Structure formats: structure tokens, C-alpha cells
Amino acid sequence: MGNYAVIMAGGKGERFWPWSRSNSPKQFLSLIGERSLIQQTVDRLTGLFPTEKILVVTGEALLPLVREHLPGVPRGNMIAEPVGRNTAPCIGLAAMRLLKEDSRSVMLVLPADHLVIETKAFLSCLARAMELASAEEVLVTIGITPTRPETGYGYIEKTGQALTGEPEVYRVQRFVEKPDRQKALEFLSSGRYVWNSGIFAWKARLILEKIQKHLPDLYERLEKMGKYLGTAEEAEALSKMFPAVAGISIDYGVMEKEKEILLVQGNFGWDDLGSWTALAEQSPKDEHQNVSRGQYLGIDTTCCLVYGQEALIATLGVSNLVIVQTNDVVLVCSMEHAQEIKELVNRLKAKGLDKYL
């Protein structure tokens, strides 16, 4: 039985605009540290998986970037989607590919662009999840011990006492949408809820059976594409067939409909880095609680994030701002509106200003 890691690397990272652009989205940026987020993800995984057991699913246009950032991952381990269709089709493609190579394969699925601070504890959770997925006919997810009443994450309600073993394992009661602040406070105080990390482990065969059960149209299309995966005809076949696939997340399509799911609870300094605000929270700050990169001079400036590339950014008498500069765009917004940057991106699309995307 082979263990494989599948990295989902097709995201657009629109909340990190204007640094994150269509030709170089968030997962390819070095937001924290010198290595890009996707490089850091692979760096961590090599503690459990040799590079030949790591697959990357990305967008067709991003394939050259993936190869540039991950020269150690075999090119044959990269699956390029001609269009983005959310996580269920992405995971289904990878499962089909693995099933062809190894009928007993077990896959870990995770995003390319998350922050993990404590690698040893992270790998311990991954190993436990893979162990459970290998031993049982069960879907496994990793939940994060919440540290604040976060409204930007989905939650998972766990049930009963922890099962034996470490890290702690629970049965899943239900998946919960992103809450308002009052609900998030209730979740935090109850102790029954964890953040949904979007990290999963299961047998490739089992997740395909669940997709067939809950998303039969997707399964039928995956089955038709499956025979071309890993062959010289893969790119042409996907370009013809994949655009007809309906987009849906694995959470909506499968996980929320299943009853038997195990949860490994982790506490390893995790953040999905979903916005400039999240980056500010996780970054070292100066004596005025500012986070900066590039040439910056501030007077009477507090609690700001200032990211520049070439030009000097100077601030005077401001607080709680996000200020981001590229060679062709300057973004200024309040910290409280940083989660809404995607709306700016949508407005640029509507106005035909694609050159700034």
C-alpha cells in the first residue's frame, strides 16, 4: 500500500491582490520567509513522503511556475487542469491517477499555500491521519484547535471523547459554515469545535466511491478521463473533457453528506493565510505593531501592514491600514476590509482592467 501526498495548487489567491496576480498567485509568493508557500509545503512533506510520492494538481497556465518552484518533484507527477473547478474535481483527478498506479494507494490531500509553524507536530498529525486512513474504511480530516473567534474559517463540530492514541482523534458531528462573531465566540468557548484546515486523508479507491455515491455526474466524467491520466494523451484529453465538469468543493459535495468521518486534532501554529490581515497577525512586528517589507518610513503610524516592492512608502498619522505597492498598483484599505479585496478584483474584471489582474 503506497502513501502519496497530493498538493492542490490551482488557487488564485485574490485576497492577496495586488501581489498575487493571475500569472503568479499566492502559492508562488514568499510572504513569510525566503521560500515560496508551495516550496515550504513540499519542504515539510518530505519528512513523510519522498518527492516521487508527491503529486501536484494545478492550473494549466501555472504549470511552468510549478516546475520552476519544485524542480525536485517529477514532471510526471504534475496534473494540469485546463480550468479551475474547485476541490472535488481536483481531488477526483488525483485519486483516479493514483488508483491507476496503485490500487491500494492512500492519499493525503492539502492546499499549497498554508502557514505551518511547528513542523514536527504537523507531521505527527499527518502520520496519524494516514495511519487511520490506511487501517480503516474511513474519511479522515485534520481540525485545528482554535485560538481566537475566527469568522473567516469553516468549523467542524467533534463528538464524544477522544479515541485512543495521540494526537487526539474524534468522530465528526458536522461541518459548519463560516460563522458570525457571536457564533464564533460560542464555538470557541464550547471546546467542541475546531477549524476546518482543508487537509484530508483517505484511500484513493474510497474517495472515488464516495464521489460516485454523492456526485455521480462528476464520477462518470472522471472515469472517462481516468484512462488518459499519466499518458501522453493526458493534456489533450483534459482540455476536451474537463471544462464540462461542474465546480464543487469536496466539503459540499462529499464531506458534509458523509456520517463516518474521523478528525485528527492538531495544534501546530496553522493559518490558511487567507488575507493581508492574516499575514499581519502571523508576521513579526515593530515597536508600533507595524509589519513592513521593502523601503518604508513611518511616523505616528500604528498597526499597519506596509508591503512595497521598489518605491519608498512613507506614512504619517495613520493606523490599521493595509498598504501594498507593486510596479503598477497601489492598494490602500483598512484592516477591517482586507477580507473584501476580492470585491475589488471582481470590479476590475467587470471594468475590463485585466492588465492589473
| Averaged pLDDT for residues 46-71 | 97
Do 178 and 272 touch, CB atoms closer than 8 A? no
Last residue of a domain, one of 214, 248, 274: 274
DSSP secondary structure, 189-258, as one string? HHS-EEEEEEEEEEEHHHHHHHHHHH-HHHHHHHHHHHTTTTSTTHHHHHHHHGGGSPP--HHHHTGGG-
Which residues neighbour 347 within 8 Å (Cβ) at sequence distance 6 or greater?
Answer: none
In this structure, are 16 and 130 located in the same domain?
yes
Dihedral over Cα of 72, 75, 77, 81: its sign: positive
In this structure, are 267 and 327 located in the same domain?
no
Do 77 and 107 touch, CB atoms closer than 8 A? no
In this structure, are 238 and 168 located in the same domain?
yes
Check residue 152 and give its pLDDT: 86
- Is residue 296 scored above 80 in pLDDT? yes
Do 107 and 95 touch, CB atoms closer than 8 A? yes
Q: What percent of the chain is predicted at pLDDT more than 70?
A: 100
pLDDT band at 1 (very low <50, low <70, confident <90, very high): low
In this structure, are 283 and 251 located in the same domain?
no
Check residue 328 and give its pLDDT: 95
In this structure, are 301 and 341 located in the same domain?
yes
Instruction: Report the distance separating Cα 80 and Cα 242, nearest Å.
Output: 10
pTM of this structure? 0.95
- Is residue 142 scored above 80 in pLDDT? yes
| Averaged pLDDT for residues 244-266 | 96
In this structure, are 34 and 66 located in the same domain?
yes
In this structure, are 123 and 68 located in the same domain?
yes
Q: What 3-state DSSP class applies to 88?
A: helix
- Is residue 124 scored above 90 in pLDDT? yes
Q: What is the DSSP letter of 86?
A: -
Mean pLDDT, the chain, as a whole number? 95
Which residues neighbour 105 within 8 Å (Cβ) at sequence distance 6 or greater?
Answer: 1, 2, 3, 4, 98, 99, 203, 204, 205
Q: What is the CATH number of the domain that holds 27?
A: 3.90.550.10
Instruction: Report the distance separating Cα 99 and Cα 201, nearest Å.
Output: 15
Do 107 and 6 touch, CB atoms closer than 8 A? yes
Strand 54-59 relative to strand 106-111: parallel, antiparallel, unpaired? Answer: unpaired
Instruction: Report the distance separating Cα 225 and Cα 189, nearest Å.
Output: 47
| Count of domains for the chain | 2
pLDDT band at 308 (very low <50, low <70, confident <90, very high): very high
DSSP secondary structure, 32-50, as one string? SSSS-HHHHHHHHHTTTS-
In this structure, are 319 and 264 located in the same domain?
no
Cell of 25: 498567485
Check residue 166 and give its pLDDT: 84
Query: Domain containing 151: what range?
Result: 3-274
Check residue 339 and give its pLDDT: 85
Last residue of a domain, one of 211, 243, 274: 274
Check residue 348 and give its pLDDT: 96
In this structure, are 99 and 164 located in the same domain?
yes
Which residues neighbour 100 within 8 Å (Cβ) at sequence distance 6 or greater?
Answer: 226, 229, 230
In this structure, are 197 and 282 located in the same domain?
no
Bridge partners (DSSP) of residue 271 are 115
| Averaged pLDDT for residues 331-352 | 94
Instruction: Report the distance separating Cα 1 and Cα 203, nearest Å.
Output: 10
In this structure, are 83 and 144 located in the same domain?
yes
Q: Which residue matches cell numbers 455521480?
A: 216
In this structure, are 95 and 162 located in the same domain?
yes
Instruction: Report the distance separating Cα 213 and Cα 208, nearest Å.
Output: 9
Q: What 3-state DSSP class applies to 22?
A: coil
Check residue 31 and give its pLDDT: 92
Radius of gyration of the chain from its Cα atoms, rounded to whole angstroms: 21
Cell of 107: 492519499
Check residue 107 and give its pLDDT: 98
pLDDT tens for residues 213-254?
A: 999 999 999 999 999 999 999 999 999 999 999 999 999 999
For 182, other C-beta atoms within 10 Å of its C-beta total 10
196-202-208 Cα angle (round to 5) = 105
Instruction: Report the distance separating Cα 140 and Cα 213, nearest Å.
Output: 18
pLDDT tens for residues 153-189?
A: 999 999 988 887 789 999 999 999 999 999 999 999 9
Q: What is the DSSP letter of 177?
A: P
Last residue of a domain, one of 218, 246, 274: 274
